[in-house]
A = this chain, B = another copy of it.
Amino acid sequence: MNTYETIVTRRAVRHFTDRPLPDEVLTRILEAGRWAGSAKNTQPWHFIVVRSPETRDRLAACGRYAGHLRGAAVAVVIVTGPGRWAALDTGRAAQNMMLAAWAEGVGSCIAALHNEACARAVLGVPEDKQIQLAISFGYPDPNAPATIEGWPLEKVLASVGRRPLEEMVHWEGW
């Protein structure tokens, strides 16, 4: 797959097989996050890698739709300092990691950890850092149900697929 194909074919994957993630694949995923750009190149990220099923189970309870962390091979939690651009920079690093994964056939899905205090306690993250999100990584289950936390996709997502380009693009001004 070339880069463009990787980008436009990637979809969120919430159900995984039991196949473990090889260390070299995990390293490439983390390197992809490391090489993301950031505001003034501040690189505000910490990546907490969680293979432990027990820890992923506890993390899954910290978000409303975070159940997919339980079935993942690895979870990566992105933590930053505070700052005006921390969320945007997190999005850039997360996207890099998920694309590097997809290029190797590894699926991924972001989990919001709505209960930040819960995630902070599970991972021992200091109070001066922000827990931005967790990402599940693993090999996609070909027999995955089209559900999120037991709900049909349509009940949870604002839409399925993407809006057409003409609805998103404005030319030369709003």
Contacts and interface: CB of A to CB of B under 8 A. Distances in A.
A35 B10 contact: yes
Among A85, A99, A124, chain B packs the most CB atoms within 10 A around the CB of A99
Identical copies of this chain, number: 2
A29 to B, nearest CB: 9
B99 A47 contact: no
A96 interface: yes
Contacts of A122: 173
A1 B99 CA distance: 14
Contact of A157 (B40, B91, B156, B172): B40
A174 B125 contact: yes
A18 to B, nearest CB: 20
Contacts of A125: 174
A145 interface: no
